Amino acid sequence: MLRISVLDTGETYNCVEGETVLAGMERLGRRGIPVGCRGGGCGVCKIRVVSGDYCGRKMSRSCISEEEEGAGYVLACRIVPQVDLQVEIVGGMRKCIMKHAPGRVQ
């Protein structure tokens, strides 16, 4: 099992071998994790990998430009961690995640 640390919320979770970062996030079972097409075409699950290696699958360039990818931006539905990762939530996903972050008073 690989550990994924979400720096924005302080949460950590495990990904099983071959599982995408988004699938692992979904297993957290908490509200606020938006999912879209799960195929790399909609951009809803955009994150930035701060540290760690992953295997990336094809992502739409309308969602992640080459420049963004070079800066660590990826789609959580299209990457499989190879080692423990630290990630930041960005874009539309950030608003949803932070709204339902643990410890946040609603």
Q: pLDDT digits over 47-74, tens only?
A: 999 999 999 999 999 999 999 999 999 9
Give the per-residue pLDDT at 51: 98
DSSP 76: G
Supply the CATH classification number for the domain 2-99: 3.10.20.30
Phi, psi dihedrals of residue 49, rounded to the nearest 5°: -85, 120
* pTM for this entry: 0.84
- Residue spans of the domains in the chain: they are 2-99
- Secondary structure (3-state) at 87: strand
Residue 54, both tokens? 């992953």
Predicted confidence band of residue 36 (pLDDT cuts 50, 70, 90)? confident
Give the per-residue pLDDT at 46: 92
Contact between 13 and 4 under an 8 Å Cβ cutoff? The reply is yes
